[in-house]
Amino acid sequence: MALLTPLLSGFIAAIIGIIPPGLINMTAAKINLKEGKKNAMWFVIGAVLVIFFQVYVAVLFAQVINSRPDVVTLLREVGFGIFAALTIYFLFIAKAPTARKSKIKKKSKKSRFFLGMLLSGLNFFPIPYYVVVSVTLASYQLFVFENNIIFIFVLGSVVGSFVVLYSYIAFFGSIEKKTDYLMRNMNTIIGSITGLVAIGTLINILNYYFG
């Protein structure tokens, strides 16, 4: 049971972080459509390999931060300000994004593997995302910075990322039909999520000072 919690935490965190339509998951789906499942899977393997190292580095960085209660408190306060600002931006300021169609030329499995690594490597979002996730989980005693727990959490994140990317490949037909709807409402979805995170962070801060 002690190992199940970090596994599920990493799995769920990965799903939340990667499920919105983005460059990596939509590219995987389009490669599947244009070149077949094998090339798409090589792309996914390359992307997931980089995600593994990104999550691991993020958790190690979070471990250093977590040993400094003053830094953790400061991060919570800064995080609340950032998430509150993002909520206001996405709900009231940002314009709805539009889906862009990209042309994909047929390439070898090896080139798709390295393309997956490249696009995943250019995506810096996972590092700060998993720093916040792991520190937050640790603050609620749902995660501890021990080698085996860290590895299980990273494994859960990798499996979650793979599942989402594979789902985009396997169910692209139905996903594609809903892409326009998702893109039109993406600001509301993201704004709602950041709003909930901001409220949770504020409650955590208030409990720290007045609890």
Residues 22-54, buried b or exposed e (16+ Cβ, 10 A)?
A: eebbbbbbbbbeebeeebbbbbbbbbbbbbeeb
pLDDT higher than 60, residue 175: no
Q: What is the pTM assigned to this prediction? A: 0.72
Across 132-159, average pLDDT: 90
Average pLDDT, whole number, for the chain? 81
pLDDT higher than 80, residue 109: no
The string of DSSP letters for the chain reads -TTHHHHHHHHHHHHHHH-S--HHHHHHHHHHHHH-HHHHHHHHHHHHHHHHHHHHHHHHHHHHHHT-HHHHHHHHHHHHHHHHHHHHIIIIIPPPP-----------HHHHHHHHHHHHHH--THHHHHHHHHHHHHHTTS----HHHHHHHHHHHHHHHHHHHHHHHHTHHHHHHHHHHHHHHHHHHHHHHHHHHHHHHHHHHHHHHH-
pLDDT band at 19 (very low <50, low <70, confident <90, very high): confident
Of the listed ranges 96-100, 157-161, 177-181, 197-201, the least confidently predicted one is 96-100
pLDDT of residue 52: 96
pLDDT of residue 151: 95
pLDDT of residue 106: 55
pLDDT of residue 153: 96
Most confident of 22-36, 97-111, 156-170: 156-170
pLDDT higher than 70, residue 186: no
pLDDT of residue 180: 59
The pLDDT tens digits of the residues spanning 53-66 come to 999 999 998 888 87
